A and B are shown apart, each in its own frame.
Chain A
Amino acid sequence: DAGVTQSPTHLIKTRGQHVTLRCSPISGHKSVSWYQQVLGQGPQFIFQYYEKEERGRGNFPDRFSARQFPNYSSELNVNALLLGDSALYLCASSPDREIYGYTFGSGTRLTVV
């Protein structure tokens, strides 16, 4: 079985640009969460989606948005990129509205120059 897949794996963008990151959860998993991990720090919660509805939001500016599709895949969008948005963006899936035990993808490494 495929795990959590994220695309692209690496991305370089210029300040001010927009980026879309994609995530496909494990088959049968209905919940997708997004995390940002800056080098040397732990992942920080951005969003959780369950059954296509936003169930939780972290302390990130409105430049960050996300959505979940009927097939439970998800997109994370970031507008007006800043240098500080450079990070590893991780997607995690779980079967239901679990609060632990997530399966993470390998992430998208975003570099803003």
Chain B
Amino acid sequence: GQSLEQPSEVTAVEGAIVQINCTYQTSGFYGLSWYQQHDGGAPTFLSYNALDGLEETGRFSSFLSRSDSYGYLLLQELQMKDSASYFCAGASRAGKSTFGDGTTLTVKP
């Protein structure tokens, strides 16, 4: 099976850069996804890394190192609306994604 660990909480100020780390132990690992979830809302897909390296999508970037079983989500130019929970998820066969327990990001003015 898979297990993923990420920090439970991160706090940053508006306009800053924040990095949310994710380490994983896996079998049958295909890649790492990131999702954002606001309170009471649906998780929203942010990015996916199948290969080592950095993927950039606007203010958000995601990185994967398979050799280190490690990835991170980088959020730049933080805005108040970025306050949410962020989940890393390991993708494996048969459409099963194993999620971490999430990191609550609080953006302060």
Contact = CB atoms under 8 A, between A and B. Distances in A.
A101 B48 contact: yes
Interface string B66-105: 0000000000000000000001010111111111111000
Nearest to A88: B40
A42 interface: yes
B99 A99 contact: no
Interface string A29-60: 00101010000111111001010000110100
B101 A106 contact: no
B41 interface: yes
A68 to B, nearest CB: 13
A99 B45 contact: no
A90 interface: yes
Contacts of A50: 95
Interface residues of B, number: 24
Contacts of A25: none
Nearest to B49: A100
Contacts of A106: 41-42
Nearest to A106: B42
A31 to B, nearest CB: 6
B7 interface: no
Given A50-B95, A55-B94, A100-B33, A42 B87 contact: yes
Given A41-B101, A99-B31, A100-B31, A48 B45 contact: no
B95 A33 contact: yes
A101 B95 contact: no
27 contacts: A33-B97, A35-B99, A40-B101, A40-B102, A41-B101, A42-B89, A42-B102, A43-B43, A43-B87, A45-B96, A45-B97, A48-B94, A55-B94, A56-B94, A90-B43, A94-B95, A99-B30, A99-B91, A99-B95, A100-B30, A100-B31, A100-B45, A100-B91, A101-B33, A101-B45, A102-B45, A104-B35
Interface of A: 4, 31, 33, 35, 40-45, 48, 50, 55-56, 58, 90, 94, 97-107
**Which 3 A/B pairs are nearest by Cβ-Cβ distance?**
A42-B99, A56-B94, A48-B95
